[in-house]
Amino acid sequence: MALPKPVDVLQMPLAGEHWVDSVFQTMTPEQKIGQFFMVAAWSNHSDNHRQYIETLIHNYHIGGVIFFQGGPYRQAVLTNRYQAASKIPLFIGIDGEWGLGMRLDSTMEFPKQMTLGAIRDNDLIYRMGAEIGRQCSRLGIHINFAPVSDINSNPQNPVIGNRSFGEGKENVAGKASAYMRGLQAQHIIATAKHFPGHGDASTDSHHTLPLISRSSEQLHDIDLYPFRRLIADSLMGVVTGHLHVPGVDNQTPAVAATLSGKIVTDLLQKELGFRGIVFTDALNMGGVSRSQRSEVVNLKALAAGNDILLYPENIREATRVILEAIQNGTLSQSFIDEKVKKILRAKYWSGLHQYKPIALASLAQDLSSPAAKQLKRELCEQAVTVVSDARKLLPMSKLDTSRVASVAIGAMPGNVFQKALASLAPVQQIVSPERPQGDAEVEELLASVGDASTVIISFHGMNQSAFRQYGINQPSLSLIKRLKEKGKLVVVAAFGSAYSLNKLTEADAIVCAYQEFDEMQQATAKVLFGNLPSKGALPVSTGDFKEGLGLSADPSGRLLPASPESVGMRSSELAKIDKMVELAVHDRVIPGCQVLVARRGKIVYDHNFGGLTYAGNTEKVTDQTLYDLASLTKVLGTLQAVMVLYDQKKIDITQKASVYLPELRGSNKQNMLIQDLLWHQAGLISFYPTLWDRTRTSSGSLNPAYYSNQSDSAHTLQIAPTLWARPAVKDSVWKWVIQSPLSRKVDADGKPSFVYSDLSFLMLQKIVERVSKQSLDRFVDREIYQPLGLKYLTFTPLQKLTNPHCAPTEQDTYFRNQLLVGTVHDQMAAVQGGVSGHAGLFGNAHDIAKLLQMDLQRGVYGGQRILQPQTLPYFTQTISTRSHRSLGWDKPNPESTTSSYLAPQASAQSFGHTGFTGNMVWVDPAEELVFVFLSNRLYPTGGNNAINTTRLRRRIHEVIYNSLKEEK
């Protein structure tokens, strides 16, 4: 590939040259030499160290410092102090290959370069470079010694390894260039290292001088390629490596590239045309310091063509030796002056001509912004790589997750990966904090897996050393083999080196996750279950797995997380929801809630607030919290079932309900049309409390003819955790529904008016069950929830889920006389065992959003078609002349603008529903919006109506619409 001609990256505007000349004219010989020294500093050392650095500034006029370990605030204070002590502004550098967190506590750590090498989209790498650059700038840093531009062609490389983008020269060059451009867009000098290429080393230059045995042709074709690309792309800095490269310089025995004029001057500056700043690698490293005195090393490095001597030792002697070399003609004054001016030009480019002290206020917050955290999540999500899946197991949403087990090797209970798995499916969790050491421990793990048909084995606490087997021992591999022998499917997730994968080939599917960030563990779990696509590609080859390999586990049509801006929304506006809900929790409007917003198939807002109760030590709301959905059951359960049967031509909604329910014939309901039941205009009363009241005695106590405090052969219908009923009570309830009176509300034509009625959906439930020959809960689970991978949307969660985390609703003092947790609040649904057409569903925001996204996408989600394309639009149109509603769905009421829950901006196409317990779902096809709000506003008593009086849901809904950008 032809590269552009290198440019002079330090070519200054006239004002810049004036500043350079004005500073240069004031400098003494010692001050000029001082500009070459960039000394090591720490912000976590004693006051003696600070005084030492200040002595170097005052006495030897050093040009800069490179900070190592410490903390951001302490470093900022020292930077301000050191800059104030220096007559010429200091260069401040940091070796932050993966961000400030590589060196400083309480700062952000981005993925290492090998992880980034798996990402196909280099724009993300640019954005990371720009974000690291922003953070550097905020901390008064001008130089980041990154990116590593070495091609890691030797898997045994002990020092580069995961610091490299990989083994492919195009991939390394493209990503190094993107990282460099991001840094320099923030006016942070980027440095490509370690010239002319450290990737083929087999020893560590921190301790000895590695030999790079490549030929000149190999070096030019492979190792130098990224450096040529970056130089052509306006690279500002290069770090020379402590490497012996006879393919370029074979005249001096065992000379380090850092000290070789043939490499630094002839190759880098003359042949490749580099015009920026040349930095040595740290001069205290064994690769150059073991065989000669430090002052000699400094002189040789300067003479070879380097501009800045990094981490020099014995500054006093080095200054003396360089002055002598100028005096005796070994180094010319013009040679020195040109280097000094080059450094001053770089300082001007970095903004040091307008130096300002670092502002200490809000420093911690500025260095860890929400946008930076979101970027880190995106990087992790894009890096996860599926390298094998011969049996097409991924994504696992189609598997029976009740028979999936997770074995986390090297992790503690409650680890992030298994928590993430639990948020997606009820996966059995097993941990082995230490690697199994023998057959007995392997057998113990096998026994723990039990009858699980699929086992996810995750490796944690891995290392980067091939010598130490990357942290995967033989018993761990035996576990995989033994599971396979027992006929189980095995999926492996490796949170470590890509080079480890060739040890894991017995697994049915292998996922490489590279690092053990929380964000990476969460992303890997989502890839496994189809909540994220697999987009990563191997940056290196290992065994039969070749560089560039990355299988697609594409969750087509699934909800995926993304930034609001990516779908035309504003983060700053959506952030207003936080304060709004936090205030509502504080004011006891609700104990807590889940709020989820999706647009165009992307989840852009997904937050949990408060706790399950108002108690200070209460369990916090999480993604796994299940809420009693109350009347949302109508649209998320019964209506979905009606639409499926309508699709299958098993229900004609224009027919009378009595066609499917013969027992209605001869009753006051024999002529009711199914579509009128859906429109709430069939003439039914809104609520009939005597239906469940009839199961109590005249004194208000529970009638023993129906109820028992214990489960026995006669009482098998669970009403509450400590209350059971005879199944025959359901038949009694249905008989009472049939006998219920009609509403007296009629329109001008004498036809029944709109009356919102629970009884409509009790009748629709019976139709679904009679036609499908299944109970409602079984039908929706089999036909809808299971195909969509919805694990937490369910009736009777206490019976169907293991240890469900249910938010309590009301402290029931008039029927069940207990706090209701995991059993339905609605009395009519309760006396039917928790499965009713109008109430009874429990669920979380994520599962509900998936179901609604299926509706929005006209019946398809994740490759599963649930409804025909025309069905949802038919059911959501408003065609009744007596009801503002569509078939089953609530709609915006054009005659009312006083809704306590619906934003006035909602389009006429939008549809949704609310629930008595404090819930709301709303879908707007015009804006491709899905909104889910779940709460338990009834806790501890149903008298709390503040969610309506404060219009909390409506105000959140309005914020969502206000966040939409005007798109041209």
Find out whether 301 and 309 touch, Cβ atoms under 8 Å. yes
In a 3-state reduction of DSSP, which class is residue 533?
coil
Catalytic (active site) residue 676: no
Express the helix, strand and coil content of the chain in percent, nearest 5 each. 40, 15, 45
Q: If we measure between CA atoms, which residue out of 9, 97, 552, 101 comes closest to residue 364?
A: 101
Q: If we measure between CA atoms, which residue out of 770, 797, 913 comes closest to residue 855?
A: 913
**Selected catalytic residue, list 45, 49, 187, 206:** 206
Tokens for 958? 């309005």
**Selected catalytic residue, list 150, 223, 249, 281:** 281
Angle between helix axes 758-772 and 639-647 (nearest 10 degrees) is 40
Q: If we measure between CA atoms, which residue out of 598, 37, 719 comes closest to residue 313?
A: 37
**Distances 753 to 40, 657, 680, 882 between C-alpha atoms, Å:** 82, 18, 8, 6
Tokens 């000149």 identify what position?
216
DSSP state of 889: S
Tokens for 945? 């109506």
Angle between helix axes 416-424 and 518-528 (nearest 10 degrees) is 30
DSSP per residue, 765-796: HHHHHHHHTS-HHHHHIIIIIHHHT-SS-EES
Q: How far apart, in whole angstroms, are the C-alpha atoms of residue 960 and residue 968?
A: 19
Tokens for 639? 């209506």
Q: How far apart, in whole angstroms, are the C-alpha atoms of residue 151 and residue 219?
A: 11
Tokens for 511? 């996922």
Q: Give buried/exposed letters for 34-62 (b at 16+ CB in 10 A, else e).
A: bbbbbbbbbbebeeeebeebbebbeebbb
In a 3-state reduction of DSSP, which class is residue 932?
strand
Kindly give, in sequence order, each residue whose CB lies less than 8 Å from that of residue 828, ignoring residues fewer than 6 positions away: 691, 692, 733, 758, 762, 836, 838, 839
Q: How far apart, in whole angstroms, are the C-alpha atoms of residue 416 and residue 521?
A: 6
Tokens 């306590």 identify what position?
900
* E-assigned strand segments in 581-704: 592-599, 602-610, 625-628
Q: Give buried/exposed letters for 813-845 (b at 16+ CB in 10 A, else e).
A: eebbeebbbbbbbbbbbbbbbbbbbbbbbbbbb
Q: How far apart, in whole angstroms, are the C-alpha atoms of residue 936 and residue 807?
A: 7
Find out whether 178 and 125 touch, Cβ atoms under 8 Å. yes
Catalytic (active site) residue 747: no
Question: What is the dihedral sign for C-alpha 360, 362, 363, 364?
Answer: positive
Tokens for 308? 């800045």
> Where do the H-state alpha helices sit in 529-603?
571-574, 576-586
Q: How far apart, in whole angstroms, are the C-alpha atoms of residue 495 and residue 752?
A: 64
Q: Residue 843 phi/psi, 5° resolution? A: -175, 175
Which amino acid, 331?
L
What stretch of H or E contains 520? helix 518-528
Q: If we measure between CA atoms, which residue out of 492, 496, 495, 562 comes closest to residue 528?
A: 492
Residues belonging to the active site: 206, 281
